[in-house]
């Protein structure tokens, strides 16, 4: 029972159920991060342990694909995913009020639990592969969902079959998402030979180097918020926007016109966003042509 077809609660969903939660793609500089949950009746737990589920990192890609297809056909198992776009990750981590990766991970896990509960599944136990301090994370989840028993542990994907199953769902979903990713950019020399996406992968490093733009940064597949990206823009172009009004955060030239300076190549700071959306300090180019920023069409 997949995340898309899970609107109808299975018969076993009204009985005490367990859930496992794990992620894939936390470390790569490319592509989405995927959180997944797998759940079943508590009475199915022994059978679950015979399905050859294991930490997805220890399995070959072919084996993961086969197990994923098998669990999709298993009507005694339910699953759901949350695919977090690289642009969303970057936006949250680079925002003025930053949201770190641990918080994003926690929110995703909480969202999956809430989604399954709202379907009407009677969750009594949830097993989670920890992100950050296991004790604090467990206390946080227990406070939000007091009727559920939580077990948050390191290497939970190796300890509990229900988490191993979630690990397989997350990994296969991410691999397919990256493999089938449609690049928004249309440059002639853009290619998909980006390797594993991990910062230490020579092929990924080469791809990042080949696809950097001195003004616009990287293609949208890249997580701009990763520290790996900053090393590629030491020779980036400094961008200045002309403004007719003197406001904080800028400097004036000899003609008294202020320049809005982007603090990070490829990104627009929160301050610049606020100025643009309010119409204050906009470039004379836009003002002279009476061009306005539209949020809706």
Binding residues for a divalent metal cation: 22-23, 129
Q: How far is the C-alpha of 285 from the C-alpha of 288, rounded, in Å?
A: 6
How many CB atoms are located within 10 Å of the residue 189 CB? 6
Q: How far is the C-alpha of 202 from the C-alpha of 213, rounded, in Å?
A: 19
Q: How far is the C-alpha of 116 from the C-alpha of 3, rounded, in Å?
A: 9
DSSP of 213-256: BTTTBS-TTB-TTSHHHHGGGTTPPP-EEEESS--TTEEE-TTS
Q: Cite the annotated binding site by residue number.
A: 22-23, 129
Residues 6+ apart with CB under 8 A from 118: none
Phi and psi, residue 149, nearest 5°? -85, 125
């Amino acid at each position: 029972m997949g995340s898309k077809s899970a609107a109808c609660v299975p018969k076993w969903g009204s009985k005490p159920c367990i859930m496992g939660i794990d992620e894939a793609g936390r470390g790569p500089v490319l592509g989405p991060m995927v959180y997944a949950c797998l759940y079943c009746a508590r009475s199915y737990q022994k059978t679950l342990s015979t399905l050859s589920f294991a930490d997805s990192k220890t399995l070959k890609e072919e084996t993961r694909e086969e197990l994923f297809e098998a669990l999709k056909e298993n009507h005694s198992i339910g699953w759901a995913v949350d695919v977090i776009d690289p642009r969303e990750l970057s936006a949250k981590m680079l925002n003025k009020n930053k949201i770190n990766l641990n918080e994003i991970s926690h929110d995703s896990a909480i969202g999956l639990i809430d989604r399954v509960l709202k379907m009407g599944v009677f969750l009594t136990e949830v097993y989670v592969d920890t992100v950050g301090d296991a004790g604090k994370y467990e206390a946080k989840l227990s406070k939000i969902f007091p009727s559920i028993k939580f077990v948050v542990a390191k290497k939970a994907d190796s300890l509990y079959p229900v988490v191993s199953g979630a690990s397989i769902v997350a990994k296969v979903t991410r691999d397919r998402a990256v493999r089938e990713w449609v690049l928004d950019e249309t440059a002639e020399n853009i290619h998909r030979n980006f390797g594993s996406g991990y910062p230490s992968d020579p092929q990924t490093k080469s791809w990042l180097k080949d696809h950097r733009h001195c003004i616009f940064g990287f293609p949208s597949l890249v997580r701009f918020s990763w520290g790996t990206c900053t090393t590629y823009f030491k020779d980036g172009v400094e961008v200045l926007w002309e403004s007719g009004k003197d406001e904080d955060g800028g400097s004036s030239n000899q003609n008294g016109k202020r320049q809005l300076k982007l603090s990070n190549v490829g990104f627009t700071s929160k301050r610049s966003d606020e100025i643009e959306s309010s119409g204050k300090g906009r470039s004379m180019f836009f003002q002279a042509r009476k061009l306005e920023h539209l949020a809706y069409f």
